Amino acid sequence: MGLEISVLALILFGGWFWVDSMRSREVALEAGRRACAAEGVQFLDWTVAVVKIRIGRSGDGRLRIRRIYEFEFSDTGNNRLRGSITLLGTQLIALYLAPREGSVPSVSQLH
């Protein structure tokens, strides 16, 4: 009986983690799209890729999953530059766009 409960708990946790990851991915996609539009650059491939996952604390001290996503954008249409988005849960806490020729890096810390 203990094994069945453990397996069920593991399945439930896996389901919750998957749904939470999809929700966070959607937030990251929208943040990347908006940042690129605001900077007048092209958001490439309409995708973000998670590169790091860990546990972090929110401002109120609650544990949240901290995810860092990377994406690519182009300022000329002939190059690929990198950007990153950091989420704590589904809250955007940082967004970075690599510097383009003749510009300074764009980093937004949203704490």
* pLDDT for residue 82: 96
Give me the DSSP letters along 68-102: EEEEEEESSSS--EEEEEEEETTEEEEEEEPPPTT
pTM score, whole prediction: 0.84
* pLDDT for residue 108: 59
Structural domain spans, the chain? 2-109
* pLDDT for residue 102: 63
Q: Which of 54, 81, 55, 59 is nearest to 70 (CA)?
A: 81
* pLDDT for residue 96: 96
Q: Are 56 and 66 in contact (CB under 8 A)?
A: yes
Distance CA 109, CA 44 (A): 23
Q: What is the pLDDT along the chain (111 residues), one digit of tens a residue?
A: 789 999 999 999 999 999 999 999 999 999 999 999 999 999 999 999 999 999 999 989 999 999 999 999 999 889 999 999 999 999 999 999 999 876 655 555 554
Distance CA 91, CA 1 (A): 39
* pLDDT for residue 2: 86
Distance CA 17, CA 50 (A): 14
| Half-sphere exposure (Cβ direction) of 13: Cα atoms closer than 13 Å | 6
